[in-house]
Chains A and B, each alone.
Chain A
Amino acid sequence: LAKTTQPISMDSYEGQEVNITCSHNNIATNDYITWYQQFPSQGPRFIIQGYKTKVTNEVASLFIPADRKSSTLSLPRVSLSDTAVYYCLVGGMDSNYQLIWGAGTKLIIKP
């Protein structure tokens, strides 16, 4: 089963670009990589999902190298409201449908 590793915490400042990297060395061939954001006392919220190369949506970009053993979530021009815990999720049919979450990265944005 793929296991994920993320930094425990990160700090940044408003207006900066933030990159959070997740390591998933044992990712299976058909596994997808998904990132979620969670605020205190709320359920996680979907940010972005990808399989390979680069995916971009209105809030973030996801970079996945060719070997897929890691992925990087990029948040452009963060604001104070981006302070949250960010989770990297790896799973799919090859992982027997078990959805493995990382421990999460607590991102703190400072003014």
Chain B
Amino acid sequence: ETGVTQSPTHLIKTRGQQVTLRCSSQSGHNTVSWYQQALGQGPQFIFQYYREEENGRGNFPPRFSGLQFPNYSSELNVNALELDDSALYLCASSRDRFYEQYFGPGTRLTVT
């Protein structure tokens, strides 16, 4: 059974650009949640996808959007990147909406 994987591991983008981050959920899991974690802070909930539908959203602007595919993998898209978007982006999958979450290693995004 493979765990949660994320790609890429690191990414450097310029302000104003767009980025897509990817997450493969653990086998048997139908829920994916995305988090943003700034250095030295706790994870901030971006949104959750349950069976391909957005199931909840945190306090993030619309330029943060996502998708979940039929195989339950997921993408996080961020448009019009800002310097403050620099952070570790974590993806977590679970077998249902509020079961324990299994986290991937994260994608470190740097916006310059």
Chain A nearest Cβ from B74, distance in angstroms: 15
Q: Are A98 and B43 in contact (CB under 8 A)?
A: no
Which residues B73-110 have CB closer than 8 A to chain A? Answer: 90, 92, 97-106
Residue B56 interfacial (CB < 8 Å): yes
**How many residues of chain A get a CB closer than 8 Å to chain B's CBs?**
23
The count of chain B contact residues (Cβ–Cβ below 8 Å) is: 24
Q: B17 an interface residue at 8 Å Cβ cutoff?
A: no
Shortest CB distance B103–A (Å): 3
Q: Taking the complex as formed, is B41 at the interface, i.e. its CB lies under 8 A from any CB of chain A? A: yes
Q: How far is B4's CA from A93's CA once the two chains are assembled, in angstroms?
A: 24
- Find out whether the CB atom of A103 lies under 8 angstroms from the CB atom of B100: no
- With A92-B98, A97-B97, A104-B42 already in contact, the answer to whether A42 and B55 are too (CB < 8 A) is no
**Given the interface contacts A91-B98, A103-B41, A104-B42, does A98 sit within 8 Å of B58 by beta carbon?**
yes
Q: Is there an interface contact between A43 and B105, defined as CB atoms closer than 8 Å?
A: yes
CA distance A91 to B92 in the complex (A): 15
Name B residues whose Cβ lies closer than 8 Å to a Cβ of A: 4, 33, 41-45, 48, 55-58, 90, 92, 97-106
Q: How far is the CA of A92 from the CA of B97 in the complex (A)?
A: 8
Q: Which of A64-106 contact B (CB under 8 A)?
A: 85, 87, 91-93, 96-104
Contacts of A13 in B (CB 8 A): none
CA distance A92 to B43 in the complex (A): 17
Can you report 22 A-B residue pairs in the complex whose CB atoms are below 8 A from each other? Answer: A36-B101, A42-B105, A42-B106, A43-B103, A43-B104, A43-B106, A44-B43, A46-B100, A46-B102, A85-B42, A87-B42, A92-B98, A93-B98, A97-B48, A97-B55, A98-B45, A98-B56, A99-B45, A99-B58, A101-B45, A103-B41, A104-B42
